[in-house]
Amino acid sequence: MQGFEYGSTLLQFDTTSELDFLDQSLGRIRVDMPQYIPISACMDQDFNKVSTYVNFLRLMSKGKLPDDPGRQNYWRFAVQRR
């Protein structure tokens, strides 16, 4: 369920470019999502990781997020851990 909550705020940011949606998503993901990165036993957690971190990568590639190699590497690592 959390992945959908975070994903929806990312999609709202993508649609509206309102930074409040991005800030909400980033803040909640920083707190709640890292614990799931090493886990790959649950399909729901894998879906949450992929949908969340791939959306960040997509937004960065579209230029909606600033280039940040550290974040980009972290998001790629998170996706690969599924």
Q: 63 near 44, Cβ under 8 Å?
A: no
At residue 2 the predicted structure's pLDDT band, cuts being 50, 70 and 90, is low
Whole-number Å distance between alpha carbons of 20 and 17: 9
Domain of residue 37 covers 2-80
Handedness of CA 35, 40, 42, 43 (dihedral sign): positive
The per-residue pLDDT for range 18-61, each reduced to its tens digit, is 999 999 888 887 777 766 665 555 555 566 677 788 888 999 99
- Tell me the whole-structure pTM to 2 decimals: 0.74
Q: Give the number of other CB atoms < 10 A from CB of residue 9.
A: 20
In which region does residue 17 sit, left (phi positive, over 0), alpha (psi from -120 to 50) or beta (all else)?
left
The whole-angstrom separation of Cα 56 and Cα 61 is 9
Number of structural domains (the chain) is 1
Closest CA to 79 of 57, 63, 60: 57
